[in-house]
Structure 1
């Protein structure tokens, strides 16, 4: 299945094996890994290739959609914008990371807005949620900018690098999305 979405500055396409080196380089940055729930540090060799194959299979089944964020201007891979789909409940969870050289430039907001549109308009989901560590305001500011509402804070919800971290949860339902856009 070849699916590509587009924004003003980005192409959002499925990951290919040739992306693995850049995924490892960008996601493997200690500051990126420190503020994400699932990215390890150090990033193991061959982990990117395994991850890409896993997410491609999940996309084919409709269980999740992991998009490489590609800068139109120069073809650079900037990060990942994913949506894990829970088909039984007609909902999804948004997750993303952006390589440190591209922080603070609005790419995550632009890509997240387009993925949420895909979720509600193409997949006809009823709800999309996202979570971030409280120490990562850049991440939850993206959630606010795309119309998600704060749903709660879960103290010491995850163990990351030996420390328990608080998570904030945001979400948006279909009716609010269509009223927001």
Structure 2
């Protein structure tokens, strides 16, 4: 396992097929996916395997980055993801994250996004990183502001009212 990013409480590394059960768990949890455009995308463990191999691992090879497994050091469990993905329609990178509800409210999201932004800017040398958050997702909107992104627009897409940050 190659650690790409490490914080006091978290490790971020590339996803492997060993993470299949964890990816399935956070991908089918409606509390986790209710503010995402991919609710219902993963319904089976085969779907989770396809996301790992055909999305994340393919993006690691193509771009050199993607969403990373978010490992909670205290119990060594994959609790979600945090990372950067390239958005061809925007021609720029996007920071995104999600984690299981039992880990919410502990500052882990901010810790993960802050470390990911530092890694993206200083190690990957990425510029013009953007993010989107559903307006009703107060915690995510606060995280994006706290890491220094600025709110630049609000619009509707995928049936959501989204805030855009740059």
Structure 2 residue 13 is matched with structure 1 residue 18: no
The equivalent residue for 1:126 is: 127
The equivalent residue for 1:65 is: 66
What is the rounded CA distance, in whole Å, between the counterparts of 2:95 and 2:79 in structure 1?
17
Shift of 1:3: 5.1
Query: Which TM-score applies when normalising by structure 1?
Result: 0.82
Shift of 1:131: 0.3
Shift of 1:107: 1.1
What do you get for the CA RMSD once the two structures are aligned? Answer: 2.2
Aligned length: 164
Shift in alpha-carbon separation, 1:21–1:78, aligned structure 2, 3 A: same
As a proportion of its length, which structure holds more strand?
Answer: 1
Of residues 44-53 and 59-68 in structure 1, the stretch that sits farther from structure 2 once superposed is: 59-68
Any stretches of 5+ residues in structure 2 without a counterpart?
none
Structure 2 residue 145 is matched with structure 1 residue 136: no
Structure 2 residue 41 is matched with structure 1 residue 46: no
**Once superposed, which parts of structure 1, at least 4 consecutive aligned residues long, lie more than 3 Å away?**
none
Please state whether the residue corresponding to 1:15 is helix, strand or coil: coil
C-alpha deviations, 1:103-145, integer Å up to 9, x for none? 1111111111111111111121221110011121111111011
Query: Which TM-score applies when normalising by structure 2?
Result: 0.89
Shift of 1:9: 0.6
Structure 2 residue 165 is matched with structure 1 residue 170: yes
The equivalent residue for 1:174 is: none
What is the rounded CA distance, in whole Å, between the counterparts of 1:42 and 1:73 in structure 2?
27
Any stretches of 5+ residues in structure 1 without a counterpart?
159-163, 172-181
